[in-house]
Copies of this chain bind each other. A is one copy, B any other.
Amino acid sequence: MKVTITQENLNHGLTTVAKIAQQRGSLPILSHVLLKTVDNQLFIAATNLDIAMSEVIGAKVDREGSITVPARLMQDYISSLPKGQITLELDGTNLHIKTSDKNYTSTLNGTLSDDFPAMPEVSSGKSISVSAKELVGSLGRVLFCASHDDSRPVLMGVYMHSDDKGDVYVAATDSYRLAQCKTSIQSKDPVSLIFPSAALQELLRVAKSEDEKVVITYDEQQAVFQVGSVEIVTRLIDGTYPEYQKLLPSSFETTAQLSREDFHEVVKISSLFAREAAGGVTLHFSEDDNALSIKSIASQVGENTATAEAKIDKDAQITMNSRYILDALGAFSGDKLLVQVNGKLDPCVLSDPSDKEYIHLVMPVKS
């Protein structure tokens, strides 16, 4: 293998894929990154067996070949080099790397690429195309609600599914809170896919700065996200996602409408006094006072009452984990917020009166 490539392109490829390579693990080759000439391009790939990432970058190929080299060192090294042309030349399993001014010359001890796990392929399958910006927006608003508890694997993913009108939604829940976002995707075929959170985190990282489309191709077992020259292959989570739609209340006894920023302030300050109580704070909805007040009591250190002005149609009271409310507020950006409750034991629903696409449920804690 002999390849000439710009530092900028090589660095982009390595920054994209090398994060997937494991630093420690039972299989040393998984800490490596694969470099392989394909036509007049360089294919760069890494995998942790759950997720495989690759990018194809432009290169001048003088001699075909392939090798794997330690991912972290290769990435740190290339990212530190000055901009300009870099030559990669393979001699046995030694990869010689030279900058064109010859100020930097190095040799990395590689491993034969024969041992590198084959990249999984989704040969035939259905596909969805969506703007990167919109997909990142929708996924980012639900992904943080996915569970980290591996006793219920389906909850560790994000559920993408279509309704009978062909509208596609994404949703995630860890059974303490739930978020659903309607996407801009329209699908004739019914969609029902559970994507692992880890793969979506990589997708968000890569697609965040992309203006292009993301193409999702999937079969029964796995899915490929194609973002520009980057491909992310992931297995799908097997199983049936809970019918969470049944949890979404259709009507509310009490609705508070208030400034999102005010609500954020009072929850944040209340949470300081809720550390002893595992984050629990009690929301008091007062119709007469036009106020939503939060009381938090820390028996050892003190107590606090924080009040925000709000339009309220009926008195109510509910105790929730302040951390979940703060997490939820990160998914909103409008001026106003609706906070709606039924009873002390029913979920509290947060939504933006000017954006009906997103809904967030937080379960109460026993007060």
Contact = CB atoms under 8 A, between A and B. Distances in A.
Interface stretch (A70-78, A127-135, A165-173, A182-190): A70-78
A203 B264 CA distance: 35
Contacts of A108: 301-302
A106 B303 contact: yes
A153 to B, nearest CB: 37
Interface string A260-283: 000001101100110000000000
B105 A305 contact: yes
A259 interface: no
B109 A306 contact: no
A238 to B, nearest CB: 38
Interface string A295-325: 0000011111111100000000000000000
A81 interface: yes
Nearest to A275: B73
A273 B81 CA distance: 13
B269 A77 contact: yes
A175 interface: no
Contacts of A26: none
A103 interface: yes
A82 interface: yes
B104 A73 contact: no
A80 interface: yes
Interface string A105-138: 1111100000000000000000000000000000
Contacts of A269: 77, 80-81, 104
Interface in A68-97: 70, 73, 76-77, 80-82, 94-95
A311 to B, nearest CB: 16
Interface in A185-233: none
Given A81-B269, A105-B305, 4 more contacts: A70-B301, A73-B301, A77-B269, A108-B302
Q: Considering the complex of A and B, which 7 residue pairs feature the smallest CB-CB distances, nearest first? A: A106-B304, A108-B302, A103-B307, A80-B269, A107-B302, A76-B272, A109-B302
28 contacts: A70-B301, A73-B272, A73-B273, A73-B302, A76-B272, A77-B269, A77-B272, A77-B273, A80-B272, A81-B269, A82-B265, A95-B302, A103-B306, A103-B307, A104-B269, A104-B305, A104-B306, A104-B307, A106-B273, A106-B303, A106-B304, A106-B305, A107-B302, A107-B303, A107-B304, A108-B302, A109-B301, A109-B302
